[in-house]
Amino acid sequence: MSSGRHFLQIPGPTNVPDRVLRAISYPTIDHRGPEFADLGLDALDKLKSVLKTGADAVIYPSSGTGAWEAALVNTLSPGDRVLMFESGQFGTLWANLARDLGLDVEFVPGDWRSGVDPAVVEERLSADPGHRITAVAVVHSETSTGVVSRIPEVRAAMDRAGHPALLLVDTISSLGSVDYRHDEWGADVTIGSSQKGLMLPPGLSFHGISAKARRASESAGFARSYWNWAPMLESNAGGYFPYTPATNLLYGLREAVAMLHEEGLEQVFARHRRLAAATRAAVEAWDLELVCRVPEEYSPVLTAVAMPEGDDADKLRAAILERFDVSLGAGLGRLRGRVFRIGHLGHLNEPGLLGTLGAIEAGLRLTGTAHRPGGVTAAAEYLADTSG
């Protein structure tokens, strides 16, 4: 049994602030009673302020995968063609889910080291004059690789192609940590979830819904019930839900978004960029390689690090957990064993990051992983020399 706090430095679920834990511990109330409406309306308003939308939003009691499915069944019909991208493990899983539902997935191969290429979006849509493609689905922050795709450029590419497809964006590991603007960037469905930048436990997922997506849902051909926007939006208008909501997580959502606004969203984004830059300074000093190969796409929320040839990332992670009580993210899918991921999102400050990097540097040494010492110093110097 170790003393002090466990360091949960995976790229989600993230550390839940004490304030949010306390809010979640309030007594559960009658979700059909008069008191609930204020909570429901406030939680939805707060969610919209983070999504940056004045349009519709919904909250599901589900993990992010549920909201992936919900986005597809609310807007599309069986057999519809969807343009999807192999950005990494999550891009791949979303495409598999779409195929399972009976969608016709046009899957653009990727190298798991870079984001969605806007030029490819334009090219694929321009090659579809009959508009068979009904949606373009992009993962904003690919949590398996530490790469952030450039959504405004993807939107601009769609507009240049003059194509009417819907834009569906997964912001599961970016919402509340990385600049994102549902309305201004022209997203049709934005998908988020609770357990990452929003500093909540797992269990809630979200949609921002454009007017165009709402119209599409009226003629969408998929059978849907639990995920159906129509009864949800109807109940939400009065602050209620069509079925039992995750009441205590809604208390948490209200508190967590209040914390983000107290710090200021822009400041929250800047803090994430800064902690990410300090992390990359450490990785560079260790002479290890970043998975992301495009500097403009470096993730503010996590850094995926490639192991030297022949070294096992899972052995390193296990040693760091056992000796220092620090959890790091595993390599996912085809990166299994070859990559470890440092989560630096959510409720995290400079000493929290330096402690994490210190445990990693000690772990590199104790497992005999080929590296150059000095990563922690490099990160500390970066933090000392830049202001927050």
Site of interaction with ligand PLP (CB under 6 A): 12, 63-65, 90, 139, 141, 143, 170, 172-173, 193
Q: Find out whether 318 and 309 touch, Cβ atoms under 8 Å.
A: no
Q: What is the DSSP string of 141-206?
A: EETTTTEE--HHHHHHHHHHHT---EEEEE-TTTTTTS---TTTTT-SEEEEETTSTT---S--EE
Point out the residue whose Cβ comes nearest to ligand PLP. 64
CB closer to ligand PLP out of 172 and 378: 172
CB closer to ligand PLP out of 135 and 319: 135
The CB-of-68 to ligand PLP minimum distance in angstroms stands at 6
Q: Give how far Cα 191 sits from Cα of 27, 136, 325, 327, 380, Å.
A: 29, 13, 32, 26, 35
CB closer to ligand PLP out of 134 and 195: 195
The CB-of-203 to ligand PLP minimum distance in angstroms stands at 9
What tokens were used for 57? 């939003």
CB closer to ligand PLP out of 100 and 309: 100
The CB-of-162 to ligand PLP minimum distance in angstroms stands at 29
Question: Across the chain, where does the E strand assignment appear?
Answer: 7-9, 56-60, 81-85, 104-108, 133-139, 141-142, 147-148, 166-170, 189-193, 205-209, 289-290, 302-306, 326-330, 339-343
CB closer to ligand PLP out of 83 and 204: 204
Q: How many residues does the chain have?
A: 388
Helix (H, G, I), strand (E, B) or coil at 354: helix
The CB-of-5 to ligand PLP minimum distance in angstroms stands at 22
The CB-of-271 to ligand PLP minimum distance in angstroms stands at 20
Beta-bridge mates of residue 305: 290, 340
The CB-of-112 to ligand PLP minimum distance in angstroms stands at 13
The CB-of-187 to ligand PLP minimum distance in angstroms stands at 15
Helix-strand-coil percent breakdown of the chain, rounded to 5? Answer: 45, 15, 40
